[in-house]
Chain A
Amino acid sequence: MNRYAIAFLLVAIGAGPAFAASAVNNDSEPRTLVVTEGSTKSDLVLSPGETVDFCPAGCFVTFPNGDRQALTGSETIEITGGQATIN
């Protein structure tokens, strides 16, 4: 019985939350992302070292160095030196 319970728990965890894209700022100064979600454009400010979840349902992002990307909501973004790397 316990085996099944544990298996179920593990599956529930594994199926788990990749519900929103997350961005982490690895720089030592705040960076701003311009996020266009739906019909609104907003500024997302990341303080140094901060990780933020955003964009659960697809959006367009403009990075500090002018690069643009489209996100679906399951990516992890690292910002280093103004440049962004998407995993």
Chain B
Amino acid sequence: MIVEIGHYALILSLVLALVQSVVPVVGAARRDPRLMAVAGPTALFQFLFVGLAFAALTWAYVVSDFSVYNVVANSHSQKPLIFKISGVWGNHEGSMLLWVTILALFGALVALFSRNLPPTLRANVLAVQAWVGVAFLTFILLTSNPFERLDKPPFEGQDLNPILQDVGLAIHPPLLYLGYVGCSVAFAFAVAALIEGRIDAAWARWVRPWTLGAWIFLTLGIAMGSYWAYYELGWGGWWFWDPVENASLMPWLVATALLHSAIVMEKREALKVWTVLMAILAFALSLLGTFLVRSGVLTSVHAFATDPARGVFILGILTLFVGGSLALYAARASLLTQGGIFAPISREGALVLNNLFLTAACAAVLIGTLYPLLVEATTGGKISVGEPFFNLTFGPLVLPLLLLLPLGPFLAWKRGDVLAVAQRLWLAFALAIVAVAVAFYLKHGGPVLAPFGAGLAAWIMLGAIAEPMTRAKFGKEPLATSARRLFGLPRSTFGTALAHFGVGMMVLGIVSEGAWKVERILVMKPGETVELGGYGVTFEGTVPRKGPNYQDQVGKFVVSDGGTVVARLESAKRLFTARQMPTSEVALETRGLFSQIYIALGEAQDSGGWSVRMYWKPLVLLIWLGALVMSIGGFVSLSDRRLRVGAPKPARAAAALAAAE
């Protein structure tokens, strides 16, 4: 009965979403407060019912109810509890249910916290959210129903795809979906503004925190996915320019742009039209990501769905929302009044530059992702666009962005002074040059440009630290005064500094891992020792071991540094018995703070040895820690709930006047 209640709850939430998508819009158009008021409760109860449906499906997984087809296809009674639960969204139907659950959650949150919004805006925003909800709930019920039942339930399930049986999977999709779906809030605000033909003051105050929230989760989700690929796939790489990864990177790039343009909007009421466009594009790319992953257009681990009906349905949703919103934008954007003006060299100008580079980089990724699909669709030929393409397009677009990044926060609003900024940043720049020299001295091997990459990372990190320090006037006023000023700075300043510092950490990790890693692929016999990045790695042989639903062949390794044993590692080939599918369990040992030894056990060889892949990856952890620091910066900024007013730098005459008063 619980399963059927979940099924009915899902249908009821669709019915509520239908009401929510029509009645408030009519109310807003006719200024009828009662009709507009329908939006809030429907959003709350829609979430209640979707949540109930999700809970019912989770229950079916936990108790291994094999009368539910979805459970049979993706679970196994012997699976550990955590993977029974994560299995709920480890498949197409369940993950779509998670998608709408999060969508409904955001709708409910908007309804709860929007008392101070103008009622028409609130009604329209919630209605637009409901449109998305209707589309996806219909999609689930008609093509991907997770509550399908079997008359003759089997006694055992087919198990979850083994490489998805991992803690990484328990966390990665929910984080990513929080990000994807979070973009729908900004989208709903943008479309609502276009429907009304005006942007309220509250609009800007609302869009930025929602975007920031979505951006935080996107950042964490992508980083988590990247780390998962790093330790689970056993190839030692952390980013493959795989279309599925690109699908998550594109909304991130646009959300980052949106985040920055929303700052301009909130503080200075400028860039309104552009911000609306960014909000639409961020969600459009989230939908595109969902389409690419869910439709089975791409063949990869992620493409659970292979039924073409689903692909066509999602393509329909995509066309409807992207096409519809862009058409609306074309028709109505001219109605939106432009806000404050600013000089080209100013904080606003810097943020515009940031937006241009980010959107251009996103376009490069979009082309690289979609071009092979277009070629295959039109000519039937298969081409692959890989790392070289992205290095040549994405790289040159991101490099100037990174180089200019430390300058932006130093520029004044409305009109800035590059020379003054240069004076404040010369120390950071000098230290960055020192970093290049140090990198040259320490690392003789590797590409010539690598030390400059390290210098770039230092430049970004030092610039990020310099900004709050300068604002606190360290070195200009007594230490105590500066310290007091530092603590008096708004939290959003620290958020910015942290996020930018995180970018620097990530750049350092990427440069170091790319340029100075050591790779050994060889056949090892038990007792053999090889040198790896200054450590000795001894292979001790393998032993079999049995897990709850898998069988391991565990390779034992000893890592020693100058004769002393520093770590004993186990790297395993794991065979999942239900699906007879092998996976690799990589051995990781962190040395120093951020560097890792990476060992993946390969196949047994005839000679009695085993093929082994080993890597020494200097500073590799900085890649993900950088992303973590970026999202912590986001959280810090989000916790700052003050109103934001960007104090403009007045023109000289006015300044003199003000001083004279």
The finding on whether chains A and B are genuine partners in a shared complex, rather than unrelated, reads no
| Residues of A near any B CB (own CB < 8 A) | none
